[in-house]
Amino acid sequence: MSHQNPVWINGEMVPWEQATVPILSHGLSRGSAIFEVFGVHPGPDGPAAFRMDKHLERLFHTADCLGMELAYTQEELVQAVAQTVRANRPSRGLVKIVAYWGEEAIIDLVLYSKLDTAIFVIPDGERGVVLDTSKPVTACFSEWYKLHPLTMPTTAKACAFYLNGMLARKSARARGYDIGILRHTDGFVAEGSIESVFMVKDGCLRTSPLRKILSSITRMSIIEAAPVAGIDVFEELISADELLDADEMFVSHTGSKINPVCKFEDRALPAPGPCTVRIEKLLAEIIAFRDDRFAHWFQAL
């Protein structure tokens, strides 16, 4: 990416290299930043954002969970995203919104000012961003467990929480796997570092309930789309033994939508299996704007 690609910060467009914060800012030194990431796709009338409305709703939910106040309304952020996309002109890419306290916090732990806001647009294929790829991955149980909801509001999307995910990913890679799947402290399956986890058993799709995991927009989209592909979905607790006995598995996140799991612990799995293929094909049609039933998932920019 050219360093001239503009970034929206607090209502102003600035060059990429000027999108910085002090090292002792609260957002960095205290880890208090929050964020959202969603895709931009080439639609019939120009760039269109994938479920931006739901992502912005979750951003405000996160701020509320953490006692933070955003400086902009949801509609103002919609307009800011559109402005930033127009300034960057990606054919396809990611939008990342970061809300943070940019002011220094050497001693103060609690701040009451409104959050600064930055909006980045990263085109597909730049800075490691590769969208809508469906390559098989290997997975294992992480030695680390998911943060307990009595210690943190785990439905919030806060930067600090991803230290938990980073440790899960590192431990999995140390064992030779791509992805580490976190369990709750009660032993039931939670999620991956940045991924929701789905298993298929006897033709039905199962995934963990929302109570103690992030309310993933991609996860929600798969749950809403799967019945259209003729697949029943159940949101229910999944034990470690049940996951080990899955007929198929896949993980999902904003970037690639679906990655089939070809090996889980020491078990080889079809990647993709027949149910996964049906969901993949449907999502591909939706992203390509060839299924009008899901046209409301996109917002023109």
Provide the CA 20 distance to its chain's centre, in angstroms. 23
pLDDT, mean of residues 123-127: 82
6-123 against 137-287: fold identical? no
| Strand 93-100 versus strand 196-201 pairing type | unpaired
Q: What is the DSSP string of 133-170?
A: ----EEEEEEEEEPPPTTTS-TTS-BGGGHHHHHHHHH
Res 175: pLDDT:
98
Give the pLDDT band (50/70/90) at residue 251: very high
Q: Which fold has domain 6-123?
A: D-amino Acid Aminotransferase; Chain A, domain 1 (3.30.470)
Tell me: the pLDDT tens digits for 11-65? 999 999 999 999 999 999 999 999 999 999 999 999 999 999 999 999 999 999 9
Percent of the chain residues past pLDDT 70, beyond the cut = 98
pLDDT, mean of residues 89-104: 95
**Where along the chain do its domains lie?**
6-123, 137-287
At residue 166, φ and ψ (nearest 5 deg) are -60, -45
- Whether the model clears a pTM of 0.85, i.e. scores above it, the answer is yes
pLDDT(1) > 50: no
Res 125: pLDDT:
75
pLDDT: which is higher, 256 or 289 = 289
pLDDT, mean of residues 134-161: 95
Res 133: pLDDT:
73
Tell me: the pLDDT tens digits for 173-208? 999 999 999 999 999 999 999 999 999 999 999 999
pLDDT, mean of residues 258-282: 97
**Residue 97: its H or E element:** strand 93-100
Res 134: pLDDT:
80
Q: What is the DSSP letter of 114?
A: P
pLDDT(236) > 80: yes
Res 224: pLDDT:
97
Half-sphere exposure (Cβ direction) of 139: Cα atoms closer than 13 Å: 33
pLDDT: which is higher, 243 or 125 = 243
pLDDT(266) > 70: yes
Give the pLDDT band (50/70/90) at residue 2: very low
pLDDT, mean of residues 233-242: 98
| Strand 137-145 versus strand 259-264 pairing type | parallel
- What is residue 71's three-state secondary structure? coil
Rounded CA separation 158/163 (Å): 10
pLDDT(131) > 90: no
Percent of the chain residues past pLDDT 90, beyond the cut = 91
Upstream peptide bond of 272 is cis (omega within 30 degrees of 0): yes
pLDDT, mean of residues 280-299: 96
Average pLDDT taken over every residue of the chain: 95
Superfamily in which the 137-287 domain is placed by CATH: D-amino Acid Aminotransferase, subunit A, domain 2 (3.20.10.10)
